[in-house]
Amino acid sequence: MTSTTLASPQSTRRPGWRAWVAFSPLLVWLAAFVVVPTGMLFVYSFFKNAGYSEVERVFTLGNYALAFSPDYLGNFARSTAYAGLTTILCALIGYPVAYHIGRAPAGRRNRLLMLIMIPFMTSFLIRTFAWTTILDHQGVLNTLLRALQIIPVLLNDKFEVLHTPAAVMIVLVYTYLPFMILPVYGSVEKLDESLLEAASDLGAGPARTFVRVVLPLTMPGVGAGVLMVFVPAVAMFAVTHVMSGGTVYLIGDVIEDQFGSGGNLPFGSALGMVLLVGFIATFFLFTRREKTT
């Protein structure tokens, strides 16, 4: 940092033309696939639906009125609840894992991180369908339960996790767990060992050291993890349909249907915009809280 500030004091404040050139592919990509489509959604959300994916270019607030109507508030609420529960479970499962990796010796740390990354080498869809073979009636889980005589002694023979909300939760947690582990790991790794020693020296046992020193100092990582899990989890679709067999219908599914079989582009756009504003609000809420701590 020192060398760049010495070389050109302005460089830290305003990027020069070289920086713009270096960033241009990213900027083009963002413009083409984020800014323009979002702008189109924004415009479409004020058009009138003409059915069968046709629109009437007439200004209306009707789509937003419908989005906030009691009919769809349930979907929003359910999505928020699923995403919220996913976030909590990811934090509870992911924190100890991240802590363990972060405190491991440097060599083992990288190997453990690899284990977290390996699932990314397989397509998300394949991983999801793999879960159906584990969770369905004749799947791995039930075979195991039968072998252990849990079926039929404790559970009846019709027992199946697939096609239940539990299956949706399992796949949501499974999918987003790495997004919690990685940022938490980042903040655990930065934790200065001597701080833990100082706490112990001052009379704090392991539990109180964790609550008073480790947890507060790794909260930024948890905050980032919450953001990275909650935001995409709210908008999750399709997977929910596969896992629940249609019994769990979330806001993501509703939006997907508007652009698909429902053929109501303006309403789908309005729902999308509402979600987007929600995300931005969440994001600012979190980043602001981090600055104050």
Partner 1 sequence: MDKMVELRNVTKRFGGFVAVAGVDLDIRAGEFLTLLGPSGCGKTTLLRMISGFETPTEGSVHLAGQDVTALPPYRRDVNQVFQSYALFPHLSVADNVAFGLKMKKTPGDVIRRRVAEAIEMVSLAGFEQRKPAQLSGGQRQRVALARALVCEPKVLLLDEPLAALDAKLRRSMQIELKRLQTRLGITFLFVTHDQEEALVMSDRIAVVNKGKIEQIGGVEEIYHRPRTPFVADFIGQANILEARVLSCVGAWAQVLCRGDVGLTVAGEILAAEGTTLLSIRPEKIRLSSRRPAGENVLEATVHEEIFRGATDQLLLQTAGGFELTAIVANQSAAEEAFHQGDRVFCQLHPDDVVVLAREGGVNAVAARQT
Residues that bind partner 1 (CB under 8 A): 192, 194-195, 197-205, 208, 212-213, 216-217, 293
- Least distance CB 107 / partner 1 (angstroms): 16
- Least distance CB 211 / partner 1 (angstroms): 11
Q: Rounded distance, CA 85 to CA 93, Å?
A: 12
SS (H, E, C) the chain: CHHHHHHCHHHHCCCCHHHHHHHHHHHHHHHHHHHHHHHHHHHHCCCEEEECCEEECCCCCHHHHHHCCHHHHHHHHHHHHHHHHHHHHHHHHHHHHHHHHHHCCHHHHHHHHHHHHHHHHCCHHHHHHHHHHHHCCCCHHHHHHHHCCHHHHCCCCCCCCCCCHHHHHHHHHHHHHHHHHHHHHHHHHHCCHHHHHHHHHCCCCHHHHHHHHHHHHHHHHHHHHHHHHHHHHHCCCCHHHHHHCCCCCCHHHHHHHHHCCCCCHHHHHHHHHHHHHHHHHHHHHHHHHHHHC
25/203 with CB nearer partner 1:
203
118/215 with CB nearer partner 1:
215
Residue 56's φ and ψ, nearest 5 degrees, are -105, 125
- Least distance CB 291 / partner 1 (angstroms): 13
Residue 205's φ and ψ, nearest 5 degrees, are -70, 180
| Tokens representing residue 62 in the block | 């009707």
52/193 with CB nearer partner 1:
193
56/197 with CB nearer partner 1:
197
74/216 with CB nearer partner 1:
216
- Inter-residue contact 257 to 248 (CB < 8 Å): no
Amino acid code (one letter) for 143: T
- Least distance CB 293 / partner 1 (angstroms): 7
- Least distance CB 217 / partner 1 (angstroms): 6
The closest alpha carbon to 97, from 119, 113, 121, belongs to 113
- Least distance CB 203 / partner 1 (angstroms): 4
- Least distance CB 191 / partner 1 (angstroms): 10
- Least distance CB 282 / partner 1 (angstroms): 24
119/216 with CB nearer partner 1:
216
